[in-house]
Amino acid sequence: MTHQDYRYKQAFPKIGIRPTIDGRRKGVRESLEEQTMRMATSVAELLASELRYPDGSPVECVVAESCIGGVNEAAAAAELFSRSNVGVTITVTPCWCYGTETMDMSPSIPTAIWGFNGTERPGAVYLAAVLSAHAQKGIPAFGIYGEDVQDGGDTTIPDDVREKLLRFSRAGLAAATLKGRAYLSIGSVSMGIAGSIVNDSFFQEYLGMRNEYVDMSELTRRIEEEIYDPEEYKLALAWVKENCSEGQDNNPAHLQTDRKRKEYEWETVVKMTQIVRDLMAGNPKLAELGFTEESMGHHAIVSGFQGQRQWTDHSPNGDFLESILNSSFDWNGKRSPYLVATENDSLNGVSMLFGSLLTHTAQIFADVRTYWSTDSVKRVTGHQLEGNAKDGILHLINSGSAALDGTGQQSKEGKPVLKPFWEITDEEVQDCLKATSWRPASVEYFRGGGYSADFLTKGGMPVTMTRLNLVKGLGPVLQLAQGYTVDLPDDVHDTLDQRTDPTWPSTWFAPVLTGSGAFTSVYEVMNQWGANHGSISYGHIGADLLTLASMLRIPVSMHNVPESEIFRPRAWGLFGTSEPESADYRACSVFGPLYR
């Protein structure tokens, strides 16, 4: 069994499709059976062809065994879905149905209803009625209603309906996939960073997750007692020596270490990478070696490594393990990223988790470090920012680690991208590795040494920066900014980069401005950002994030998503339509955490 197979040995959640129908027999129901079931199968075919699970396999749908015309058939579908590991449901109908008798009553499973826009039968009337029932019963549902009228025999899914079906399903599967999994805290609070104060109530009530905790001394124990696969270690070390280029040592001469120490640090960080992965997902090879308990892992879909300072003052830092695990490949080949939050910032870890589940791509963990105005760049370098950067840029730079996919060395149609692992070519893996220099860690920061990933992200990529924050008395709040990565002339980048730390990975980011709120200027984006970290995902995925947040009852305080793309449960509109942001807060407060 490969690491990938073992990691995903438990089934992914499926999407349940519920064809509801007018229950009146002797003519009415019989005339609608074929059309209704055809709607259900066409939705199932769409989702299976367009969506994938984190391991790259197609999403699976379960269609109810019969149309649902009343409560008995609704109960039969619910029982089927329970047996089939359904985590998301979509109800479809072209006609009037008995709302409270046919509705999905599962309070913690995301649900949507597509009511066919046709004049022959009142699918839209049922949609409105059943959404009203969902609101009245406190089970928010997403309503899908096509903009244009279709003919009664039309079997196609209009583009606007298709977009909403896919958006809802991506977000719903993300919510269902994280349910029951764990956040693994390796260590505790790093340097007083509030995000590394792991809040178990938040994980349990809002995400349906559990929390697992391991002291960093567990890494020491496993290294000293050799609780890792020795054959894999040999393979990994050889791969690292061949593919990971050691860069210039920027430490002052009196702090630089000799070759023997550097080799020890390479050996240690490779073992650390194996061990953290095994702590998260387990490893059946350990059972063969006599370490059955350790082979089980912690069922962690995301983790955080404290590192600073209790570990890094004495041992090689976690930059290598974080960079490699967060990437889409390692010595075993291409695979989906293992998400590890720097400094055990669990809230940024969740931000990474959201982006990863929605896109299946690697996420770039970064400090939201510096706002550079056009005037400041001009003063320091003489360069005039242009294009996407004309209003200023943000320097996103983590303290030594980031997914190697973040180099931007993968491409599609000649443009830099981040891809799901199953689309990445062997050549692109090598390009990412070649674009990364492993610099001996800054010893003034990391007394125990280690290696930091040094690369520069290619410009021109659409990306979304996300951050989850906790506010006492309010709970979790999400914020996001869509924008683009930026290329700077080499000398300009070098001048600005040298002012921070040239051994760390850099991304230049220009958010899209809207002229209002936090997006009146790049300065305000920086000024309104809620913490020192952010997670950067490929693509403008803000609309998907808003949909996911509403499912989890997490309000969004700051975003630049066009209003036409916002898709939330229909009940949100009952809290006001003139100020959607305020309505979002009120709805999340009233309905409360999904798993409370």
Q: Mind telling me the catalytic residues? A: 343, 367
Judged by DSSP in three states, 453 sits in: strand
Distances (CA, A) of 276 to 53, 271, 283, 314: 23, 9, 11, 18
Residue 115, H or E segment = strand 111-115
177: amino acid identity, one letter: T
- Tell me the two tokens of residue 457: 């992200």
Name the helix (H) or strand (E) containing 557: strand 556-558
In 3D space, the residue among 534, 456, 560 whose CA is nearest the CA of residue 498 turns out to be 456
Place of tokens 């066009």: 562
Q: What is the DSSP letter of 12?
A: P
202: burial class by Cβ within 10 Å (0-12, 13-18, 19+)?
buried
Q: What are the residues whose beta carbons fall under 8 Å from the beta carbon of 423, sequence distance 6 or more?
A: none
Within 10 angstroms of residue 46's Cβ, the number of other Cβ atoms is 17
Q: How far is CA 403 from the centre of its chain?
A: 14
Question: Does residue 258 have a known ligand-binding role?
Answer: no
Check: CB of residue 361 under 8 Å from CB of residue 537: yes
- Give me the sign of the Cα torsion angle 444, 448, 449, 453: negative
To the question of whether residue 367 is assigned a binding role by annotation, the answer is: yes
Tokens representing 413 are: 């149609």
Q: Are 127 and 20 in contact (CB under 8 A)?
A: no
Evaluate whether 195 touches 531 at the Cβ level (below 8 Å). yes
383 assigned binding-site residue: no
Distance (Å, whole) CA 376 – CA 37: 62
- The CA distances from residue 503 to 240, 290, 453, 455, 536, in Å, are 18, 40, 7, 8, 20
CA distances from 269 to 273, 300, 319, 398, 403 (A): 6, 21, 8, 18, 16
CA atoms within 13 A on the CB side of 173: 27
Q: 3-state class of 141 per DSSP?
A: coil
Q: Which two tokens stand for residue 458?
A: 């290619």
The length of the chain is 596
- The count of C-alpha atoms lying within 13 angstroms of the C-alpha of 83, restricted to the half-sphere facing its C-beta, is 8
- Cβ atoms within 10 Å of 471's Cβ, excluding its own: 11
C-alpha triplet 282, 341, 271: angle, nearest 5°: 45
| 33: amino acid identity, one letter | E
> How far is Cα 428 from Cα 329, in angstroms, rounded to an integer?
11
Which one-letter amino acid corresponds to residue 398? N
From residue 135, alpha-carbon distances to 68, 143, 431, 591 in Å are 21, 11, 51, 10
Locate all alpha helices (DSSP H) within 382-489, ordered by sequence.
426-434
Q: Binding-site residues for Mn(2+), please?
A: 343, 367, 533
Binding residues: 343, 367, 533
